[in-house]
A and B are shown apart, each in its own frame.
Chain A
Amino acid sequence: MSGELHGVIVAPGERLDQRVEAKAPYIAEVNGVKVATTVGIVSQREGKSVFIPLKGVYVPEPGHVVIGLVESIGVSSWGVDINSPYQAVLAAQDFLGRPFNPAVDDLSRFLKVGDYVKAKVAAFDKTRSPLLSVQGEGLGRIISGVIVEVPPAKIPRVIGKRRSMVEAIEAKTGCSVFPAVNGRVHIDCPSRELEVIAVLAVKLIDREAHRVGLTEKVIRFIEDERRARGV
């Protein structure tokens, strides 16, 4: 065992203390009793009991910044996979930032199938497809780096407490790391070797997300890898 667990693992249906806090739908109230609905860990944080899901499905919310994968090209919009049950829509007018005429502009000139975009969820309420927007700083097509996928439930661990994990990876590798809430992490590095190390570090977080002392372990891992690879 490479580290002790953050708390107690619970399975769906297991009774939880009434004081345990979690976001819907990770906790349900059945016959007046609080039960877990997914596999998760009950952990103590700042004097409070919190339920941290270990598995979950990403559901977009307005304001989320996500990394989307262009899946289809329509007449006036792109269909974007945002690692969620719902395919998102990115309107050409929003992407181009100007009025759009389908007779003049060919959408595949701007975004092709397979391109990644960093975008904000502009609107979503489960009755219609999520609407994306790239109007904002740092948003738009991703032109360099790699994307690593991790389960969306583990993104808070990739970010770390007050961004400690992201900052540790960035400081130790010199890469820029952007974990999006939908389970995709954009890593942009100065060299290919450092990129490989940063990707392996994120995969290590994915595997060991629920263990304590992870930030130190990731730092040690990066230092060891840099030494072994001579970078």
Chain B
Amino acid sequence: MGGGAKATLIREDGLRHDGRRPEELRPIRMQVGVLANASGSAIVEYGKTRVLAAVYGPREPYQRFMVLPDRAILRVRYHMAPFSTSERKSPAPSRREIELSKVIREALEDVVLLSEYPRTAIDVYVEVLQADGGTRVAGVTAASLALADAGVPMKALVAGVAVGKVGGVLVLDVDELEDSHGEADMPVAAAPDIGLVTMFQLNGVLSEDELDRGLSMALTAIEKIVSIEKEALKRKFEAIGEEV
């Protein structure tokens, strides 16, 4: 967090280091049904961040002691591939990955109709293939899309985005450089269709006003991302006829 970084993160013309306006998202790309062996899968890209999600289940878990009599358990594994970063990342689950698995699970639990499948488990694997900031929020988006692709009933689609503060300016969809040199990072996930915020974290310091503005920026962006999710889902089913 240095004053020296500010000059490079926000240019003199007010644009960010990669030429984006402060409230601009990176190019977002989504594809559904990318893995044949999974019940549902999706790949999501926020700029250079690329995340793959695969859903298996609902199914009876091998560890029978885990089952709950009244609902399914949602198990999420967030993992960064060893090649996802510029320096090799150990494939062993780190403290951060264990925490993010929990955070992503909690961001999805409120929308998935778990009570429909008591005594079962739904496994969600979130694999970061390429990391350039915002991997947890891209992970939430990919996981939500993969759950929908698997036919797991859910009240709404969830998407995430991170708002940051760099050089005193609130910026949307922070990348790795802005995340590591910025003053604050605020990942948010929500289900705009039902007006529910499912994840809200803040690393760093924001004033009350900045927090309000940041949250509003995030929620506006999430609406856009959810509409891209819906397009990706519908595209899969609309395109099926063309393959024949």
Do chains A and B stick together as partners?
yes
Instruction: Report yes or no: B155 in contact with A11, Cβ–Cβ below 8 A.
Output: no
Interface residues of A in 20-66 (CB under 8 A from B): 24-26, 28, 30-31, 35, 37-39, 53-57, 59
With A5-B238, A35-B156: A11-B148 Cβ-Cβ less than 8 Å? yes
B113, B149, B195, B237: residue with the most chain A Cβ atoms closer than 10 Å: B237
With A9-B237, A25-B113, A85-B58: A39-B148 Cβ-Cβ less than 8 Å? yes
With A14-B230, A39-B233, A204-B244: A86-B119 Cβ-Cβ less than 8 Å? yes
Complex CA gap A39/B230 in Å reads: 9
With A35-B193, A85-B57, A153-B151: A25-B116 Cβ-Cβ less than 8 Å? yes
Chain A: interface secondary structure? Answer: loop
Closest to A31 in B: B194
With A28-B113, A86-B120: A54-B237 Cβ-Cβ less than 8 Å? yes
A6 CB to nearest chain B CB (Å): 11
Which B residues are in CB contact (< 8 Å) with A204? 244
Asked whether A127 is an interface residue with its Cβ less than 8 Å from the other chain, the reply is yes
Asked whether A112 is an interface residue with its Cβ less than 8 Å from the other chain, the reply is no
Instruction: Report yes or no: B193 in contact with A126, Cβ–Cβ below 8 A.
Output: no
Instruction: Report yes or no: A11 in contact with B157, Cβ–Cβ below 8 A.
Output: yes
B125 CB to nearest chain A CB (Å): 18
Instruction: Report yes or no: B117 in contact with A57, Cβ–Cβ below 8 A.
Output: yes
- How many residues of A are counted as interface, with CB atoms below 8 angstroms from the partner's CB atoms? 38
With A2-B242, A207-B244: A37-B157 Cβ-Cβ less than 8 Å? no
B140 CB to nearest chain A CB (Å): 14
Which A residues are in CB contact (< 8 Å) with B154? 12-13, 37-38
Q: 1/0 contact trace for A198-231 toward B, CB 8 Å?
A: 0000001001101100000000000000000000
Name the interface size band of chain B: 35 or more
Asked whether B92 is an interface residue with its Cβ less than 8 Å from the other chain, the reply is no
A38's contact among B153, B194, B240, by CB below 8 Å, is which? B153
Instruction: Report yes or no: B151 in contact with A53, Cβ–Cβ below 8 A.
Output: yes
Asked whether A103 is an interface residue with its Cβ less than 8 Å from the other chain, the reply is no
Interface residues of B in 147-169 (CB under 8 A from A): 148-157
A3's contact among B118, B157, B241, by CB below 8 Å, is which? B241
Instruction: Report yes or no: B194 in contact with A13, Cβ–Cβ below 8 A.
Output: yes
A52 CB to nearest chain B CB (Å): 11
With A9-B238, A127-B69: A15-B193 Cβ-Cβ less than 8 Å? yes
Q: A residues near B, CB below 8 A? A: 1-3, 5, 9, 11-15, 24-26, 28, 30-31, 35, 37-39, 53-57, 59, 85-87, 126-127, 151, 153, 204, 207-208, 210-211
Q: Knowing that A13-B226, A38-B154, A207-B241 are A-B contacts, what are 14 other residue pairs whose CB atoms are under 8 Å apart, sorted by A's residue number? A: A9-B237, A11-B229, A12-B154, A38-B148, A39-B234, A54-B151, A57-B58, A85-B58, A85-B117, A86-B119, A87-B60, A126-B117, A126-B119, A204-B244
